[in-house]
Structure 1
Amino acid sequence: MMEEEGRTVLVENTYQLGPLKKEKVSFEKIQKIAEDVLESVLKDATYDAAMAPKVSKNISQEILTQISELHYTRYKFACQVTLGEIKDQGVRISSRCLWDPTYDICVSAKYQKNQLFASALIFCIYFL
């Protein structure tokens, strides 16, 4: 059931357990979006610890905005962006999820220039 302008509309269940071929998420398109956003936002940036949370949030929002323009139906997207300063240290970023490997994917993109690095993880989860 759905509410539409003050009235209830009955909607039949589609019983669709997976995306149609044309609706399946394109790993390459999403990775290109993430790489392009990281490049455009960070090309002239220097690391600032005070601004890093705000910048990473803005990058994440921009990636999600551009992904939403692809009009994938039944997919939920989450984006995690990590920014850091390169100072001869090692960094490991990992995540764990419970999902269906048939339809759900994780896309990653990275950026590094001068003393700044960035990593973006985009989780694409099929929603029944």
Structure 2
Amino acid sequence: MIKEFKEFISRGNVIDLAVGVIIGSAFTTIVKSLVDYLINPLIGLFIGGIDFSDWVFKIAGATFRVGSFLNAVINFLIIAFVVFILVKVVNKFVSKKNEEPVAAPEVQLLEEIRDLLKENGK
């Protein structure tokens, strides 16, 4: 069982996943700072200097922090957008690297004619 566990852990996918989780966590901290310290104050300028985190309402002793929820939604949207852009950029580089140059149809036709002439001994 220990041998199987070692094989499982030493697979590239598990290690790549662990690295991805660690980088994702660090990246989330950066994006949260961006939202809290730059985006929210900027939005606050346009809507009269209101800080979302202060938006609360109370019903029967329960406190609903609507502003904190809005901050979380903005945070999610920014993270999703940044990940979308990163995936697009990575896909662009990967697809360019994996594409083989495709010859024009005329070139392919000329190559076929050449090969047929070689087969016929001319």
Structure with the bigger percentage of helix: 2
Same fold (TM over 0.5): no
Structure with the bigger percentage of strand: 1
Q: Which has the higher contact order (CA 8 A, sep 6+)?
A: 1
Higher-Rg member (1/2)? 2
TM-score (norm 2): 0.29
TM-score (norm 1): 0.27
